[in-house]
């Protein structure tokens, strides 16, 4: 098994989750499939299946192409091919005896941008996630929320407390978030409420396996950032990649009294109890 290089780290990560290993094993014996077809096979949301497939592509286990039909739009498909079989064998993943990899004459290369350079922080994050899995749920969620708020405040150290109105504070926060999620954008904004959409959520990889944890960390990070700018807010999740949505979308509401804070605390407690039940 290859070790020590960036590609081997990607491969190890891709195969670490049983669901991804099962998807790869299925594609070794099937025809090229779309994300929806894989999702149907494994009872997943199509966006979750697509995220798993893209990680397998990034690790070098799968290739992509375009399935063209006489009617309808071309569809992106995922498949294994002869040029990748050596890598698959290195990782002890191979088709059953007597089964050949699917032919790809029907496929044309998909027009896609080159993948971004790998981030060394992903490996660190993967290790840390393994560590936090060993912490009891009540402690984990409480500490995660506290740390996320503190990190949110640190994001805004270059801005003066109270120097920006609500709308300007939201714009400043989104600008800082774009350091980690370049596609983050403001969908709408008013004097006391804003809606943010993030297709490339920084917590995407973690969200696939630890959705409850991300549901605590993500809003707490933004609440900490807004509090640092002098605008305590409540963050409500409207859509989440962790739930199978195509992006993360949140409503940020300026807090006028302590009632919202209490509701937020109760919501966090509910997530903590859910996490404890799953441990």
Residue-level pLDDT, tens digit, the chain, 279 residues: 444 455 666 666 677 777 888 888 888 888 889 999 998 998 888 888 888 888 888 888 888 888 777 666 788 888 885 434 444 444 444 444 444 444 433 444 444 444 444 455 556 666 666 676 777 878 888 888 999 999 999 888 877 555 788 999 999 999 888 888 888 999 999 989 999 999 888 877 777 677 788 888 899 999 999 999 899 999 999 988 777 788 889 999 998 754 444 555 555 555 555 555 554
State which H helix or E strand residue 196 sits in: strand 193-198
Domains of the chain and CATH, by start: 6-109 (1.10.10.10), 121-278 (3.30.1380.20)
Tell me, what's the pLDDT at 86? Answer: 41
> What is the pTM assigned to this prediction?
0.52
Q: Which value, in Å, is the radius of gyration of the alpha carbons in the chain?
A: 21
Q: How many CB atoms lie within 10 A of CB 14?
A: 24
Sheet holding 75-79, edge to edge: 75-79, 63-67, 107-109
Q: Give backbone dihedrals phi and psi of 204, rounded to 5 degrees, phi first.
A: -55, -50
The alpha carbon of 103 is separated from its chain's Cα centroid by a whole number of angstroms, namely 32
For 127-155, write each residue's pLDDT tens digit. 666 676 777 878 888 888 999 999 999 88
For 204-233, write each residue's pLDDT tens digit. 777 767 778 888 889 999 999 999 989 999
């Amino acid at each position: 098994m290859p070790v020590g290089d960036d590609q081997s780290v990607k491969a190890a990560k891709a195969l670490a989750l049983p669901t991804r290993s099962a998807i790869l094993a299925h594609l070794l014996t099937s025809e090229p499939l779309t994300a929806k077809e894989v999702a149907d096979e494994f009872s997943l949301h199509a966006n979750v299946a697509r995220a798993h497939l893209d990680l397998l592509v990034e690790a070098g286990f799968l290739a992509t192409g375009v399935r063209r039909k006489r009617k309808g739009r071309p569809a992106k498909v995922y498949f294994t091919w002869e040029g990748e079989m050596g890598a698959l064998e290195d990782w002890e993943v191979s088709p059953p005896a007597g089964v050949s990899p699917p032919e790809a004459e029907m496929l044309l290369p998909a027009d896609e941008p080159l993948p971004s350079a790998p981030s060394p922080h992903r490996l660190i994050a993967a290790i840390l996630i393994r560590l936090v899995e060993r912490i009891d749920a009540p402690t984990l969620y409480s500490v995660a929320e506290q740390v996320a708020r503190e990190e949110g405040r640190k994001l805004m150290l270059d801005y003066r407390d109270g120097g920006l109105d609500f709308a300007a504070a939201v714009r400043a926060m989104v600008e800082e978030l774009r350091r980690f999620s370049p596609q983050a954008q403001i969908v709408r904004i008013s004097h006391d409420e804003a809606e943010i959409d993030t297709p490339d959520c920084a917590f995407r990889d973690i969200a696939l396996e630890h959705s409850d944890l991300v549901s605590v960390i993500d809003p707490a990070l933004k609440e900490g950032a807004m509090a640092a700018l002098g605008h305590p807010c409540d963050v409500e999740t409207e859509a989440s990649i962790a739930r199978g949505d195509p992006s993360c979308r949140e409503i940020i509401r300026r807090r006028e009294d302590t009632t919202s804070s209490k509701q937020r605390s109760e919501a966090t407690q509910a997530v903590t109890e859910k996490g404890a039940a799953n441990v």
